[in-house]
Amino acid sequence: MKLKSIAVAAALLPAFGSAFADDFNVNLIGGPNVYSAGLAATHLSGDFTDTFTFTGFDGAGTVFAGLINNASAFSDLTFTEVTLNGVAVPAYGDVGPLSIAAILGQATTGPLTLVVSGTVTGQVASYGGNFSVTAVPEPATYGMLAGGLAVLAFAARRRKQQ
């Protein structure tokens, strides 16, 4: 009796489209100059919104990311909006059976929040992708570099004079 009820509930579940709002905390691994993380989500039929909050990076940087879903015979996923720190990502859409979203060198400051919204038609669909941030050096780093080069130039000039 109990197994029959569970089977009926599972069979009816895809019929009830609803909005999903899942939050994910993802740790960016790497550094000190390049941080990266993989991300993925699976959804049943209907609209969804996923919020990925990236930890481990809170400076200035350049973001490169890609999300992809390959449609199957049972379902498809379409991205309807992608934002990074509240700024809309312009590169997303459907290319044949693929749904893609790409962030190609967007300058930002941390902490980082990626919001992905879309629609699943059919039974169940998933997407995955990679997210990476290349850190922008602080102005003090450039000052130390210039100072180091000046010391090397002074030492080379002094050596040449001897």
**pLDDT value, residue 90:** 83
Helix (H) or strand (E) holding 6: helix 2-12
Question: Is residue 74 in some structural domain?
Answer: yes
Task: With cut-offs at 50, 70 and 90, classify the pLDDT of residue 16.
Answer: very low
pTM of the full structure: 0.71
| 149 located within any domain | no
CA distance 55 to 35: 10
Contacts (Cβ under 8 Å, ≥6 apart) of 47: 17, 18, 19, 20, 80, 117, 118, 119, 120
Task: State the CATH number of the domain containing residue 45.
Answer: 2.60.120
DSSP structural state of residue 14: G
| pLDDT (tens digit per residue) in 96-144 | 788 999 999 899 887 899 999 999 998 889 999 999 998 876 555 556 6
Q: H helices then E strands: how many in the chain?
A: 2, 9
Say if 146 falls within a structural domain. Answer: no
- Asked if the structure places residue 116 within a domain, the reply is yes
Amino acid at 102: A
11 occurs within a structural domain = no
pLDDT top residue among 29 and 96: 29
DSSP state of 44: E
Contact 122, 97 (CB under 8 A): no
Structure tokens, 131: 């997210």
**Residues 6 or more apart from 54 whose CB is under 8 A from it?**
26, 27, 28, 37, 110, 111, 112, 113, 114, 131, 133
How many structural domains is the chain composed of?
1
38 belongs to a structural domain: yes
pLDDT digits (tens, 9 = 90+) for 56-98: 888 889 999 999 998 887 888 999 999 999 999 888 888 878 8
- Segments forming the whole domain that contains residue 109: 17-137
How many C-beta neighbours within 10 Å does residue 99 have? 23
Q: Check residue 20 and give its pLDDT.
A: 55
pLDDT > 80? residue 6? no
* Residue 132: predicted pLDDT: 92
Q: What distances in angstroms separate CA 71 from CA 5, 36, 62, 76, one per listed residue? A: 31, 26, 30, 5
Higher pLDDT, 34 or 11: 34
